Amino acid sequence: MEFKNISIYFHWPFCESKCPYCDFNSHVRKEINHRQWLLGYLINIENWKKKLPHSKIQSVYFGGGTPSLMNPRSISIILEKLYKNFLLSDDIEISLEANPSTVEKRKFKDFSSIGVNRISIGVQSFNDNDLKRLGRKHSANDAIKAIDIAKSSFYNVNFDLIYGRQFQNLSEWEKELEFALSLESQHLSLYQLTIEKGTAFKNLYNAGKLEGLPSQELSRRFFITTNKLCKKKNFNSYEISNFAKNKFECVHNLNYWRCGNFIGIGPGAHGRFEYKRSRFSYKNIMNPENWLEKSLTSKNPIQKLKEISRLEQFEELIMMGLRTSEGINLNNIEKKTDISLNMDKLDYLKKSKFVSLKNKNLHLLTKGKLVLNKIVNELLT
Ligand SMILES: C[S@@+](CC[C@H](N)C(=O)[O-])C[C@H]1O[C@@H](n2cnc3c(N)ncnc32)[C@H](O)[C@@H]1O
Ligand code: SF4
């Protein structure tokens, strides 16, 4: 297999503590053998290298968990291994997720000096009480400091905020977002709090103990205000929850939403790629210790490698593409999958101002973004 543009994701599955809202594959461990983990990643890169000779990497993403807990030296060795074994695009994007409580000035400088060129900080809130409710170990001040340090080491800084939090009102969010925008990062990920299955928040919610969540109407107003304030500061809403200054859209995530080719390495990491006009998906074993053990003993840590049917591809292209402001091109989707959308349904959605459809390009309007899942369901049934 040879790819002109491929993305590589590394999953680091550990955090200092588990946040009660988070359903990511992240775990707390007393001790982590960093050397063994490095070896695990290197073995997997070696295996992929054999399958993907002459492929060109456009982006690398260290996600988690909390990959800022990794040794900069490990990241440096991983990157060197990639440089030696793959072609690299001239403007390769190399991102790393960081938690404000694991930030030391030196570590950020080190990450930047070894080639990481985009940092993404999980701030979540600038309100200390809300940070406590979200189970975060850092304060608003720690987050502000982390952003400041990041800006001195990186040209491309993102931070994440969660809104629609318990007892949050609209004017508080407006002030918080205005403050966030004044910090002049290049990118913002702004997520509405979702209560995910298997989390501590879900248990509280089921027991009727998670109080103060926003009504549907307040959630709608949060979303509209978020978009309005970001637009005013020239942050382009290029995906439902992602906002970027011109040319700072995240290359790695855009590749996911465009259903490009990507390789995932690490516990629970997914991959998707095209081979001989077919598309394949796979997932790594979720459990960190099992994944590492398999990798180190030359057993395959990948489970569930399968060909994706045309219908599944069609569904993915719609589901992912409609998240973006560029949307989807119906001709391209038809060419790829031999399946077309129902024109009567599209006409209805267009007349009701949920979507825009011009020259076979389809994207959601604000009214549609508010009910993204309903629209996707409507189009796929
Ligand atoms: C893998 S975490 C990011 C990095 C790092 N582990 C941290 O928390 O600082 C990705 C992001 O997803 C968002 N997120 C996770 N669970 C969420 C939820 N239930 N609702 C809304 N946003 C969520 C958070 O903003 C978080 O920063
Ligand atoms: S939100 Fe981040 S720090 Fe918290 S548990 Fe999830 S991955 Fe770990």
Residue 363 pLDDT class (50, 70, 90 cuts): very high
Retrieve residue 55's tokens. 């492929």
Percentage of the chain modeled with pLDDT above 70: 100
Residue 205 Cβ contacting ligand 1 at under 6 Å: no
- pLDDT tens, residue by residue, 220-271: 999 999 999 999 999 999 999 999 999 999 999 999 999 999 999 999 999 9
- pLDDT tens, residue by residue, 135-174: 999 999 999 999 999 999 999 999 999 999 999 999 999 9
Q: How confident is the prediction for the chain on average, in pLDDT?
A: 96
Q: What CA–CA distances, in Å, run from 114 to 167, 182, 198? A: 42, 29, 37
- Best residue among 16, 21, 23, 24 to mutate for probing ligand 2's pocket (most ligand atoms within 8 Å of CB) is 24
Please give the pLDDT value at position 276.
84
- Best residue among 14, 22, 61, 131 to mutate for probing ligand 1's pocket (most ligand atoms within 8 Å of CB) is 22
Q: What CA–CA distances, in Å, run from 160 to 97, 119, 190? A: 10, 11, 6
Contact 6, 52 (CB under 8 A): yes
Retrieve residue 372's tokens. 């993204």
DSSP symbols for 108-176: HHHHHHTT--EEEEEEE-S-HHHHHHTT-SS-HHHHHHHHHHHHHH-SSEEEEEEES-TT--HHHHHHH
Q: Does domain 310-381 have CATH number 1.10.540.10?
A: no
Report yes or no on whether pTM surpasses 0.85: yes
Closest CA to 100 of 142, 67, 64: 142
Percentage of the chain modeled with pLDDT above 90: 92
Q: What is the mean pLDDT of residues 329-337?
A: 94
Ligand 1 atom nearest 22 alpha carbon: 16
Residue 191 Cβ contacting ligand 1 at under 6 Å: yes
Residues of the chain with CATH 1.10.10.920: 310-381
Residue 180 pLDDT class (50, 70, 90 cuts): very high
Looking at the predicted structure, is the pLDDT value of residue 314 above 80? yes
Please give the pLDDT value at position 381.
84
Calpha distance 304→321 (Å, rounded): 24
Ligand closest to 241 (CA) is: 1
Calpha distance 300→148 (Å, rounded): 42
Calpha distance 38→27 (Å, rounded): 18
Quote the ligand 1 centre to 356 CA distance (angstroms): 31
DSSP symbols for 296-307: HTT---EEEEEE
Note the CATH number of domain 6-255: 3.20.20.70
Residue 53 pLDDT class (50, 70, 90 cuts): confident
Looking at the predicted structure, is the pLDDT value of residue 106 above 90? no
Quote the ligand 1 centre to 22 CA distance (angstroms): 6
Where is 376: in which H helix or E strand? helix 372-380
Please give the pLDDT value at position 183.
98
Q: Residues near 315 by Cβ (< 8 Å), separated by ≥ 6?
A: 380
Please report where in the chains the tokens 């942050």 appear, as a residue: 235
Kindly report the three-state secondary structure assignment for every residue of 335-371.
Answer: HHHCCCCCHHHHHHHHHCCCEEEECCEEEECHHHHCC
Quote the ligand 1 centre to 50 CA distance (angstroms): 34
Amino acid at 38: L
Residues of the chain with CATH 3.20.20.70: 6-255
Please give the pLDDT value at position 103.
72
- Best residue among 21, 120, 203 to mutate for probing ligand 1's pocket (most ligand atoms within 8 Å of CB) is 21
Quote the ligand 2 centre to 325 CA distance (angstroms): 27
Calpha distance 252→264 (Å, rounded): 12
